[in-house]
């Protein structure tokens, strides 16, 4: 990714190339003899069982991975593709170049139509991006695209994006789910009801959404590119972890997503199911509402950081899936620094800090989280560990949508959550999690506000030199580590139970299940 950004900043054009093959990283079967694989066939329905439903299918208003994973590269596509090797490739744009520090020019693929028959052209690009930035109808993604000053439709197949300042990560946001292109006719027709009527250029067309139950996509017979082999895809909401795996074992589903580590051994011992383990950009973290007492005191947050044994959590809760984290940036994200240090497990230091903050005997608090089994287990471990410094921690488990609503409105004390980086670039984490303007819905559920960090994040966006940019993000992470709005504890992996007759399915580091090349044997 760094090479691609550097290349873009040097104004090199990107020639038209095909998409990279999909990596299906699945574990071996432990020496079992496998039957001869049947030939892949056209058609069929892929049923995906997953923990939670989407909350919004409008990419400009969605706030969670389940929603984006349903539509990204399926219903919707962007100008640029971040492929399996984390390299930028053409998608709806066939090539691009940087005309100067502030102006990027994209040549658009011709002959493409949205699923409602509306032509894809420069006017559609302009309307889509302007919708994100519309101050009269603000979207939670406006900050992410705030560097864009103007979108010019030069002609039907040429668009220029003019920036207010140099932005090194432009390709990363155009490749993200937030950067997809939306039918201008659908924007006019549905407005904010677009969540119920998604219309893009992708290989699958939206058919139906029964909230809490399932979302159905069907093959786009008029797709401009290589048509998918599947006829239909059904995302079923199945909250019970064991039930999702059982559905794959029984053939009622072919993939079980958001697989908890508690089901790994079951999947590994199955004759019909394979364990998929895929590298992730994401982190898991414990957060604080820094506007609420006692968590408005940095010493309290530091004390809790010293009282948490991360290694015990990784081993005991996650069965050593993932690694101990000291930053909300995963090791593969551009801008990650191994020099950022976390907090040693030190109960004496934790007690000292609590006493200095005026809480020598501890206090009562509540930690909120969604109904994810691993996070529930983390909460129980956290509850036990914090008893050691006198904190009486109550655990509040919520349905995912209710949890997101509470967190974005600031109705939490502590919380256990995570952040799945959609772009592979530090800006996505830093701006959404730490910038003061992102407080609430965009992602800063800690309501963290530090002017120096704000400036560093803004400088990181503008800096063209990759090494200088890395140094800026390192400094920002060091300050964030000192002030502890979040305690990152794990760099995660994406796990799935995949039926052995499914070929070509994989989960991107951003956490999105990729199915465009899937065949069923």
In tens, the pLDDT along 140-178 reads: 888 889 899 999 999 999 999 999 988 988 999 999 999
pLDDT at 39 (0 to 100): 58
Backbone phi and psi for residue 249, each to the nearest 5 degrees, phi listed first: -60, -35
| Across 23-27, 155-159, 172-176, 495-499, least confident range | 23-27
Every domain range in the chain assigned CATH 3.10.105.10: 280-493
CB-CB contact of 296 with 290 (8 Å): yes
Reported as a pLDDT band with limits 50, 70 and 90, residue 17 is: very low
| pLDDT tens track for 402-425 | 999 999 999 999 999 998 887 888
CB-CB contact of 71 with 57 (8 Å): yes
Architecture of the CATH domain 1-12+40-237: 3-Layer(aba) Sandwich (3.40)
280: its two tokens: 């992730």
Reported as a pLDDT band with limits 50, 70 and 90, residue 53 is: very high
Mean pLDDT score, 417-434: 89
* Residue 458 scores a pLDDT above 80: yes
The stretches of 297-425 forming alpha helices (DSSP H) are 298-307, 310-316, 347-356, 373-387, 400-408
Mean pLDDT score, 206-233: 97
Rounded Cα distance between 229 and 197, Å, is 24
* Residue 85 scores a pLDDT above 80: no
Mean pLDDT score, 232-241: 96
Type and span of the H or E element at 22: none
Contacts of 216 (CB under 8 A, 6+ apart): 207, 208, 209, 232, 233, 234, 235
Q: State how far the alpha carbon of 308 is from the alpha carbons of 44, 86, 141, 303, 413, in Å.
A: 48, 33, 33, 9, 17
Mean pLDDT score, 130-147: 90
Reported as a pLDDT band with limits 50, 70 and 90, residue 87 is: confident
Backbone phi and psi for residue 65, each to the nearest 5 degrees, phi listed first: -60, -40
Which superfamily does 280-493 belong to? Dipeptide-binding Protein; Domain 3 (3.10.105.10)
Reported as a pLDDT band with limits 50, 70 and 90, residue 36 is: very low
* Residue 79 scores a pLDDT above 80: yes
478: its two tokens: 């060091």
pLDDT at 131 (0 to 100): 96
Reported as a pLDDT band with limits 50, 70 and 90, residue 482 is: very high
Every domain range in the chain assigned CATH 3.40.190.10: 1-12+40-237
| DSSP SS3 for 309 | coil
β-pairing, 506-507 with 513-514?
Answer: antiparallel
Other CB atoms closer than 10 Å to residue 25's CB: what's the count?
A: 14
pLDDT at 40 (0 to 100): 63
Mean pLDDT score, 438-450: 94
Backbone phi and psi for residue 398, each to the nearest 5 degrees, phi listed first: -130, 155
Reported as a pLDDT band with limits 50, 70 and 90, residue 466 is: confident
* Residue 452 scores a pLDDT above 80: yes
Instruction: Write down the mean pLDDT value for the chain.
Output: 90
pLDDT at 378 (0 to 100): 96
pLDDT at 38 (0 to 100): 54
Mean pLDDT score, 181-195: 96
pLDDT at 10 (0 to 100): 34
> What is the residue whose two structure tokens read 């890395």?
470
Phi-psi region of 433 (alpha: psi -120 to 50; beta: other; left: phi over 0): alpha
* Residue 84 scores a pLDDT above 80: no
Beta strands in 196-311 (DSSP E): 204-210, 214-219, 232-237, 255-256, 273-288
pTM of the full predicted structure? Answer: 0.75
Among residues of the chain, what percentage have pLDDT more than 70? 92
* Residue 505 scores a pLDDT above 80: yes
Please tell me which residue, 173 or 34, carries the higher pLDDT value: 173
Reported as a pLDDT band with limits 50, 70 and 90, residue 64 is: confident
């Amino acid at each position: 990714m760094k090479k691609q950004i550097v290349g873009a900043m040097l104004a090199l054009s990107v020639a038209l190339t095909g998409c990279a093959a999909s990596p299906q990283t699945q574990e071996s079967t432990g020496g079992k003899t496998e039957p001869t694989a049947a030939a892949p066939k056209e058609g069929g329905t892929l049923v995906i069982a997953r923990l939670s439903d989407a909350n919004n299918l409008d990419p400009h208003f969605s706030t969670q991975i389940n929603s984006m994973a349903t539509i990204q590269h399926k219903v919707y596509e962007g100008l640029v593709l971040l492929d399996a090797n984390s390299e930028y490739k053409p998608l709806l744009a066939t090539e691009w170049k940087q005309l100067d520090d502030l102006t990027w020019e994209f040549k658009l693929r011709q002959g493409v139509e949205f699923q409602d028959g509306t032509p894809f052209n420069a006017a559609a690009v302009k309307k889509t991006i302007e919708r994100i930035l519309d101050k009269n109808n603000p979207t939670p993604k406006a900050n992410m695209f705030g560097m864009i000053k103007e979108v010019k439709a030069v002609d039907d197949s040429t668009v220029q994006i003019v920036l207010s300042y140099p932005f090194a990560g432009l390709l990363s946001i155009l490749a993200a789910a937030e950067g997809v292109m939306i039918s201008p006719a659908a924007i006019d027709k549905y407005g904010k009801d677009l969540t119920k009527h998604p219309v893009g250029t992708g290989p699958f067309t939206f058919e139906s959404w029964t909230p809490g139950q399932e979302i159905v996509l069907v093959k786009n017979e008029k797709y401009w590119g290589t048509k998918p082999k599947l006829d239909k895809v059904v995302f079923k909401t199945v909250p019970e972890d064991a039930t999702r795996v059982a559905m794959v074992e029984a053939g009622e589903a072919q993939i079980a997503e958001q697989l908890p580590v508690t089901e790994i051994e079951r999947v590994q011992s199955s004759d019909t199911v394979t364990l998929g383990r895929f590298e992730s950009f994401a982190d898991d973290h414990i957060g604080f509402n820094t506007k609420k007492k006692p968590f408005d005191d940095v010493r309290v947050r530091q004390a809790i950081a010293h009282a948490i044994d991360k290694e015990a959590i990784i081993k005991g809760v996650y069965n050593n899936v993932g690694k101990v984290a000291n930053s909300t940036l995963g090791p593969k994200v551009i801008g990650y620094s191994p020099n950022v240090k976390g907090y040693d497990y030190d109960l004496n230091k934790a007690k000292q800090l609590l006493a200095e903050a005026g809480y020598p005997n501890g206090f009562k608090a509540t930690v909120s989280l969604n109904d994810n089994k691993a996070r529930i287990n983390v909460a129980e471990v956290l509850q036990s560990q914090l008893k050691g410094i006198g904190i009486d921690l109550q655990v509040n488990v919520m349905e995912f949508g209710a949890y997101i609503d509470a967190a974005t409105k600031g109705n939490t004390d502590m919380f256990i959550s995570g952040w799945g980086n959609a772009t592979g670039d530090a800006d996505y984490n830093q701006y959404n999690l730490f910038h003061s303007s992102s407080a609430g819905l965009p992602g800063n559920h800690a309501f963290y506000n530090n002017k120096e960090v704000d400036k560093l994040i803004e400088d990181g966006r503008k800096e063209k030199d990759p090494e200088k940019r890395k140094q800026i993000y390192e400094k920002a992470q060091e300050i964030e580590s000192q002030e502890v709005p979040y305690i990152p504890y794990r760099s995660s992996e994406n796990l799935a139970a995949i039926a052995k007759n499914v070929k070509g399915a994989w989960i991107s580091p951003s956490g999105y299940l990729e199915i465009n090349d899937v065949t069923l044997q």
